[in-house]
Each structure stands twice: as C-alpha cells, then as structure tokens.
Chain A
Amino acid sequence: METVNIKELNERIQRESAFVDIMTIEMSKVIVGQKPLIENLLIGLLANGHILLEGVPGLAKTLAIKTLASVVDAKFSRIQFTPDLLPADLIGTLIYSPRTEEFQVKKGPVFANFILADEINRSPAKVQSALLEAMQERQVTIGDKTFPLPEPFLVLATQNPIEQEGTYPLPEAQVDRFMLKVVVSYPGKEDEKRIIRMNNSGEFPTAAQVLKPEDIKKAREVVREVYMDEKIERYIVDLVVATRKPEEYKLANLQSLIAYGASPRASISLAMAAKAYAFIKRRGYVIPEDIRAVAYEVLRHRIGLTYEAEAENVVPENIITSVINAVEVP
C-alpha cells in the first residue's frame, strides 16, 4: 500500500510553491484584470498540459502568453496561423546545401519551450494536425530523423470565437489534446481604468524573469506527488461519466443535449489540473474544491452538444454546471 506522509509533503509543497506567488505578482504587473487567466496558465504550466485560449480580440491573450514566457527564462516562439501556412513552416524542413552537397535540417519555430499558436483555427487541418501531433508526441520527425522537443514544452493556442468565415474549426479529436480551454472574459471597470492608465503613461511595465526551465521541471515533479485520495478519484470519474451517461445521475434531461461526453483523457486532465491547482493553493492534497475549480476549463471543450442543444442555446458550461450540481461530493 502506498504510504504518503502528508505533513512532510505539505511542508515540501509550501517550500516548492513559493515561486507561484512571485510569478503571479510579476505577471499581474503586465496583465491586469485577468487573474483567472494567469491562474489557468500556471495550471497548464505545472500540469504539463497545453492550453487553448478563446476570447474576443483585445483581451490580452497573446500578451499573457508572452509575459509567461518572459517570466520563465525559456525560448518562446510565436506562430501566426494563416491559411497559407504549411506544416514545414511549423516543424521545419530539409534544405539542400550545395557546399556540403547534403540535405541539412532546418528546424521550425516549434522547437521552443513556449509556443504561441495565434489564431490556430485560421490554418488548414494539415498544419493544425502537425502542431497537435508535436503536442502529443513531444517530438518532431524531419526527413528520417526524429528530434525531441525541448522541456518544458507548452503550446498555448488562441482562437477567436467570432469571425468564423474562412476558419478551420479544430476537430474534436484534436481539441481533446488541449488540457484546458480557457475562455477569456472582459476585465472589470476598475481594471480597465488601470489598463488605460498603464498604456497612456508611456512606460509599459515589464515582468521580471523569476524562473528557469529547470524550476518548472522540478515543480512538475512535486505536482505529481500531490496526494489524491481514492474518494477524489471516484468524484472525478463520477463527473466525467455523468457527461456520458447523465441518466445515471438523475440528469435524464441532459441526455438529448449531449452528443458525446468527456473522454478518459478528460479524467486524466482533471486529476492533473486539480493537483496543479492544489499546488498553487500551496496544499499537498486535493480536495473537491480543486476539482470544481478546474472542471469548466477541463471539460468545456470535451463535451459535444447535439443540434437540439444548439437550438435551445445550451452551451457546454450549462451541462457542466448541471453535472456539478447533481454529482454528490465526497
């Protein structure tokens, strides 16, 4: 039987997670009024999961990712996805060198620690799948050689929920590879006033570099050690199964609204994200609040809705709320 000394683990996490506060402070200097976004970026970073950001233009999606990269001393690449982008533009290609009379590997921008895939739905499926394959396998094959991607490797993709004309929506199978889908909302009135002042002052704040990639790797190891009780595991499974078989959880009314429920990958992501959340909260164990805190981000892109649901203006968030309110908390 696995033995865990929670007291010791708690103390360790208290020590190891100290950087979280510093990192949050540094990022908050630049990103104003988007605390949940910063928190979710940290969850993705610590849980080793890729993030899909969705929001209307001008909500500091790109700035947030750039800031995150600047806080960590890591290589950052920004790829603007356009309809004419090719997989080779992303992963790299073989170039013939007349001097050596050999093909040389020219690595693409995907070889970086942080990848910002801006407006990922503007590129055709072949480019999207090239990136998503790299995300899943964490390696890229160019010619006959396979190159591992650097660690940490985090893809942060953005997509715009409006202006759907000329876009290539991500297929369900590929969306599932993102651990979190974060919907970025507008900042509050006071925060927006601060944003105006910051931009008009002429001295835009910059975030200091406070972490190294090794720190992230170390933190990830600690996150994996966060204790998750069997009761919490059962709760995660109940939440995920309730999206597949709502009738078993007194949610028969959702049956006609859900085309397909969350995958087992959702259960894994929910567990990992909850552990990361507990780490951020400087706790050595997961409680049901942690699951609830990350449930929307983990599940919203993994629940397929029927035409009936769309006709009734039901969104995945409504389904998740119903599921959370129906499943008994341990």
Chain B
Amino acid sequence: MKPKHLFCIILLIPAFLQAQSGSESVRLPGVTPAGIRQARESVLDRDSILIGDQVWWILSLPDQARDPSFTRSVESPEMPGEAVEGVEILEGVRFDTIFHRKKMQEIQARIKLTSFDSGSYSLPYMPLFLKRVDGGTDTLWFKGPVLYVNTIPVDTTSFKAYGLKPQMKYPITAAEILSVAGLLLALAAIVYLTVRIIRRRRQNLPLFHSLKPAEPPHVVALKALDKIRAQQLWKTQKVKHYYTVLTDVLRIYFYNRWGIQAMEQTSAEMLGSLNSVSEKDELLTKEVITELQKVLNTSDLVKFAKYVPAENENEESLALAVKFVTSTARYEETENKEE
C-alpha cells in the first residue's frame, strides 16, 4: 500500500466512525453529537412535572455569544415535533437575555416542552450555531437533562367515583334573545308572504294593493243589466251584440254566485250546471230555471241562427234576466258584509 492511500484511509476513518455513532443517538434531525469533545450543560426550570404540565429547557450560551466583536448571531436548528419520543416541543428555541443592573449578564435559549406520558426522559443533545464575525460557524452542543413526568396519585382507598358533570348553564343574554326573536320574525314574515302570494295568485289579485270589497254578484249583474237597458242595443240594429252582452252578464253572475265556469260552457251545459246547483240552493227553483232557459234559447237563436226577435221579445229577455238575478240574489250576505 502506498503511503498516499494510507493517508486517505486515515483521513476517512473519523468520518466513518462519526456516521456510525451518529445513527445511534441522533434525536434531532440534521444534527449529530458524535465526536463532540465538549458539551455544555443545560437545565430544566423544573426537574419533574405532572402529566400535561409545561416546562422550559434552558440552554445558557457562553460569554462569546454576548461579544459583538466575536459573534454575529446565534441560530438554532429546525425543531422537530418531539424532543424524544413522549416529550413534545411546544415552542421552538426562544432567545432570552438576562440583565443585571442594566448590564447584559447572559443569553439563554429556551425551549418549551410538555409530556402526556409518565416516566423519565433523557433529553437529547441540542446544537446551537454561533455565527462568528469572521464568517465561521461554531456549533455549540448542550447535554440534554433528564425530565421526570409524574402522574397524579390516586388514593384508591378513599377514591369515590363521581358521575359526569352536566353542561354548565350560562345565563341567556339579551343578544341571544334578540337574534332568536329576529330569526322567528323573519321566518314568520316569509311564511306570511308565501301564503299571501299563493292566495293572491289563486284569486288573481295584486300582491299588495288592497282591493275594494267586492260587490255582491247580484249587484254587479243588476248594474250591468241596467247599463244594457240604457244602451238599448236592439233598437240600433245590434241585436246580436245585445244578446251576447246579456248572456255574458248572466254567465258572470253564474260564476260569481255559484262558481259555475259559465264562460266556457254552452247554454245546455249552463242549464245542466244550474240544475245540479238547484238541489242545494232553494232560491234556484225550476220555474226560475225554465224562464232563464227561454232567454238562453232566444239568445242562441239570435247569435247562431240569424233569428230576429220582435222588440217586445228583446225587452222580455232583459226583464227575465233581471228577474232571474233578483229572485236568486242572496241578500243576507250583503247585509252582513255591510255590517
């Protein structure tokens, strides 16, 4: 073996050893305490804690760290979630300066830990990087102390089991009452509006405009018949139009009075509907229907068969229509409405 090769092997041996030993004891990623010649002590602010308690791990930096002519900055490695298995790092490295009589005495690095499992934990070596002014970096290693985590002692002799505590009842605030009341009001408004929209649409009425109270069917019909009488259409050679208007008034009356869809019915169908309604309405007698049939027959003949009735026949048709309306009018309802 040549001396040059031997020299290379000697150089590589420490690196190999370092790698081997590092793989055994590395707890924090990217750092290795192997080959450390000197490690500084570190302390916990308490040696033992109860489960779930929090504790500070304090690393005191050497005096050079305070010397601005020597140290530019101190940096910490990236912190993992756990220092060792079972000990969680709640807060990474926080640097703290200790003053005494307005003079900096010490720089400390603090790490907040906690544990939720009882036992003793040997904390790992912790590196800190001291960046020198001249550009170099010194790695400071700190020995990990031992953390004791205790459970809460339970006195089994005097232990008494208690049931689950009920949920705490807080007093109801005004804001809560107002918000619930507001929601209820909004809900009521929505329901009211929906019902109103549906009803108004069914009745074919506008949504918000309040209409005048509808006149009773017989009043509407009699007014329309009066208008026809005043116009005297049959005298102006408009007999067909006269009978069309006359039957339309009667059809509207049938609808308003009994709900018969008379506008879409033929004369025979209208008479059929009236006959079926007459069983429930004592005002709608057979005589009244027979007289109405006369009017409808005449109007059919005029409208569809070019029939030209005599003048007295035209007047009689109008009189029969008025008679039909007056004899079938329901006056009680009108009086009640007026009251």
Chain A residues proximal to chain B, CB less than 8 Å? 4, 6, 10, 227, 229, 231-232, 284-289, 292, 324-330
Chain B residue numbers with a CB within 8 Å of A329 are 263-266
Q: Are the CB atoms of A324 and B305 closer together than 8 Å? A: no
- Cα A328 to Cα B244 in complex, Å, equals 12
Q: Which residue of B lies closest to A285 (CB)?
A: B305
Q: Which residue of B lies closest to A292 (CB)?
A: B266
Interface Cβ pair total, 8 Å cutoff? 47
- Cα A232 to Cα B300 in complex, Å, equals 11
Q: Contact string, B284-306, partner A, CB cutoff 8 A, digits 1/0?
A: 00000000000000001001111
Question: What secondary structure prevails in chain B residues at the interface with A?
Answer: helix
- Cα A247 to Cα B186 in complex, Å, equals 36
Chain A residue numbers with a CB within 8 Å of B264 are 324-329
Q: A287-B300, A289-B268, A330-B244 are in contact. Are A6 and B305 (CB under 8 A)?
A: yes
- Cα A324 to Cα B268 in complex, Å, equals 15
- Cα A226 to Cα B303 in complex, Å, equals 15
Taking the closest CB of chain B, its distance from the CB of A99, in whole angstroms, is 63
Q: Are the CB atoms of A287 and B261 closer together than 8 Å? A: no
Most buried by A among B244, B267, B303, B307: B303
Q: Are the CB atoms of A330 and B303 closer together than 8 Å? A: yes
Q: Are the CB atoms of B304 and A285 closer together than 8 Å? A: yes
Partner of A287, one of B244, B265, B304: B304
- Cα A6 to Cα B306 in complex, Å, equals 7
Chain A residue numbers with a CB within 8 Å of B306 are 4, 6, 227, 229, 285
Chain B residues proximal to chain A, CB less than 8 Å? 244, 261, 263-269, 300, 303-307
Q: Are the CB atoms of B261 and A325 closer together than 8 Å? A: yes
Chain B residue numbers with a CB within 8 Å of A285 are 304-306
- Cα A165 to Cα B272 in complex, Å, equals 45
- Cα A330 to Cα B303 in complex, Å, equals 8
Q: A325-B261, A330-B244 are in contact. Are A287 and B307 (CB under 8 A)?
A: no
A sample of 17 cross-chain residue pairs with beta-carbon separation below 8 angstroms, ordered by A number, consists of A4-B306, A6-B307, A231-B304, A285-B304, A287-B266, A287-B304, A288-B266, A288-B267, A288-B304, A289-B266, A289-B268, A289-B269, A325-B261, A326-B264, A328-B263, A329-B263, A329-B265
Taking the closest CB of chain B, its distance from the CB of A256, in whole angstroms, is 20
Known: A229-B306, A289-B267, A329-B264. 18 other contacts (CB 8 A): A6-B306, A6-B307, A229-B305, A231-B303, A285-B304, A285-B305, A285-B306, A286-B304, A287-B266, A287-B300, A287-B304, A288-B266, A288-B304, A325-B261, A327-B264, A329-B265, A329-B266, A330-B303
Chain B residue numbers with a CB within 8 Å of A327 are 264
Q: Are the CB atoms of A229 and B265 closer together than 8 Å? A: no
Most buried by A among B244, B265, B266: B266
Taking the closest CB of chain B, its distance from the CB of A321, in whole angstroms, is 11
- Cα A275 to Cα B186 in complex, Å, equals 62
Taking the closest CB of chain A, its distance from the CB of B209, in whole angstroms, is 22
Most buried by B among A4, A324, A328: A328
Chain B residue numbers with a CB within 8 Å of A289 are 266-269
Q: Are the CB atoms of A229 and B266 closer together than 8 Å? A: no
- Cα A314 to Cα B269 in complex, Å, equals 25
Q: Are the CB atoms of B307 and A229 closer together than 8 Å? A: no
Partner of A227, one of B261, B267, B305: B305
Taking the closest CB of chain A, its distance from the CB of B61, in whole angstroms, is 83
Chain B residue numbers with a CB within 8 Å of A287 are 266-267, 300, 304
